[in-house]
Amino acid sequence: MKFKLWEALLAGSILATANVTMAGLIQADYLTANDNLAVYDENTGLTWLDTALTSGMLYADVGNAFPGWRVATNTEVESLFSGTFSNLNYGANGVYTSTNFSSNTLAEASNFITTFGYAGNNYSGSRYSLAFYFDEDLKYRAAGVRTIDGVPYSIFGPEWAYDITGYETIGHVDYGVFMVKGVTSTVPEPSTLAILGLGLIGLRYRKKG
């Protein structure tokens, strides 16, 4: 009876875990305690630099300016956005606007702004948390979130179609550069953990038989 109860509780907890959304972005520190100038991504194990720190900087200069940090790869940027924003259809131009925001999307965009900060100036209430990177085709791109009066208004996805040709060599005051440190970790999906756990229970019953 004791083992049956334990097995039932384990199965229930495993199945519940399978439905839990993976954790996301957490405020972290860059140089000193509580400076809140970095972001830890629980999904990948990477730490990202606040976009305000690289605002206006050239892509070629950021590596030397922040020892121990490196420019993010296309895969890392795409993983950041796919892990942070759930079920978004960016459309043909790569932008998702507030007219389509669910309460969940609004919360995700707000957390992105809170953790990454603003890279740009305030233009009549409009502000940006955007950063540059190179995509898989070595095209210079940018991604991030725009707010109006502090409320998320647009999410610019990794395939944002805006032409930023030339900014690589001149920079832009409203854009940072995506910088990370650490190595992407492989975290088992909740469904994988569920299958593994239920499989262990099945093996126990087989042994008992």
The residue extents of the domains of the chain are 22-208
Section 25-41 average pLDDT: 96
pLDDT digits (tens, 9 = 90+) for 155-184: 999 989 999 989 999 999 999 999 999 976
pLDDT at 185 exceeding the cut of 80: no
Distance CA 157, CA 87 (A): 12
pTM: 0.77
pLDDT digits (tens, 9 = 90+) for 51-97: 999 999 999 999 999 999 999 999 999 999 999 998 788 888 999 99
Helix axes 74-84, 103-116, angle to 10 degrees: 130
Sign of the CA dihedral with 139 first, then 187, 114, and 108 last: positive
What residues have CB less than 8 Å from 27, skipping those under 6 apart?
A: 36, 38, 39, 40, 114, 115
DSSP 8-class letter at 12: H
pLDDT digits (tens, 9 = 90+) for 40-64: 999 999 999 999 999 999 999 999 9
